[in-house]
Copies of this chain bind each other. A is one copy, B any other.
Amino acid sequence: MARVDDGLAFMLRFENVARYEDGAVLILDRRIYPAKIEFVRCEDFHAVAKAIGEMVTQSGGPWFAASLGMVSAARTAKGLKAVQAKAFLDEAAYTLTHARPTTSKRMVAYVQTVVDTAWQAMEAGKDPEEAAYAFVMARMEDRYLKSRRIGEHVVSLLPDDVTILTQCFAENLIGYTLLVAQEQGKKVRLYCPETRPYLQGARLTASVAYDQGVPVTVITDNMPGYLLSKKMADVFICAADVISLDGYVVNKIGTYQIALAAHENQVPFYVLGSPSPSNPTIDTVKIEERDPQEVLHAMGVRTAKEGVMGFYPAFDITPPKLVSAVIAAEGIFSPYDLMGTFGKGAVLDE
């Protein structure tokens, strides 16, 4: 039977993002992929939240892992009385959605739908674990279908022979962009900055492109400006952790300075993803700072002398004036025209 993730790279297949096994959630450890293919086994929602906080998975991974963590919580709730079960599910939802600050606001509403599904099943005398699991998997499939539509929109803007510059790891969005371009017979090549300190570009994005047969070249994070000044890329494309309705893009640190260089060199910048109704303005987004030790190490080895400090803002903010278009499942939008379509709260964040 055809699956929505057919044709996508190994790590984008559902079961290789995360999978649910009798109360446990197994999450692909993206921190060490592709050097090692290992899954972190989480026996309960606490372990899932811990894994998310420690960045075992990232990008879309935490949304799926947190949802499966709620399925695990629903399984435990089966053995509790109604009042306790409700409190337990609420506690699990809170824990899972607050593992990382930047996306917590959006994730609360998202995970709440799993809580509601489980709770409604319990009230109806049905199995909350089964109901929650079916709900989560159906939404994963829907999410992939939406990503595919985004891929179709962005590919419609690309020339037949195209070199794409991306940033960090746009997950199934970059997977579908490459896949749809190939399906349409377009010749596509990819440059990806390595994305220090976690090297998501070198490790994840490059692996996805390679798995899907797209020639891919890694550069260090100080090189995108040079590439753009030499017109070596036709377009800059990335996903976003948050697109606020006033057109600001919160994405992996470095996106802003690449966007500046793209703008300076007349290279279009397309941002893929759903604008966030929970963030009508950029000032509602909290930028996460992570452990500075990460910056002072590369592949586990200390780089600087002891006594030298580090600083690790995980995301930056790109203003709408540098964004050529926001590309959502619903279509292609100006960053200055998001409130109309996405401000009605009709679209569920994810």
Contacts and interface: CB of A to CB of B under 8 A. Distances in A.
A30 to B, nearest CB: 13
Interface stretch (A64-72, A222-230, A330-338): A222-230
A237 to B, nearest CB: 17
Contacts of A257: 222, 224-226, 257-258, 260-261
Contacts of A226: 253, 256-257, 313, 316
A298 B199 contact: yes
Given A196-B222, A223-B253, A303-B194, A210 B295 contact: no
A310 B218 contact: yes
A264 interface: yes
A327 interface: no
Number of copies: 2
Interface string A202-233: 11001101100001111111111110010000
Interface in A181-213: 191, 193-197, 199, 202-203, 206-207, 209-210
Contact of A223 (B218, B264, B301, B311): B311
A254 B193 CA distance: 12
B217 A254 contact: no
Interface in A263-313: 264, 295-296, 298-305, 307-313
A229 B210 contact: no
Contacts of A136: none
Contact of A296 (B191, B218, B313): B218
Interface size class of A (residues with CB under 8 A): 35 or more
Interface of A: 34-35, 191, 193-197, 199, 202-203, 206-207, 209-210, 215-226, 229, 252-254, 256-258, 260-261, 264, 295-296, 298-305, 307-313, 316-317
Given A193-B222, A199-B303, 20 more contacts: A34-B305, A194-B196, A195-B222, A196-B196, A196-B221, A202-B303, A216-B308, A217-B308, A218-B303, A218-B310, A220-B253, A220-B295, A222-B257, A223-B313, A224-B257, A225-B254, A226-B253, A229-B317, A260-B261, A301-B301
26 contacts: A34-B304, A191-B311, A194-B304, A199-B298, A202-B304, A206-B304, A206-B308, A207-B304, A207-B308, A217-B308, A218-B304, A218-B308, A219-B295, A220-B221, A221-B221, A221-B254, A223-B254, A224-B257, A225-B260, A226-B257, A229-B317, A257-B260, A260-B261, A298-B298, A299-B299, A299-B301
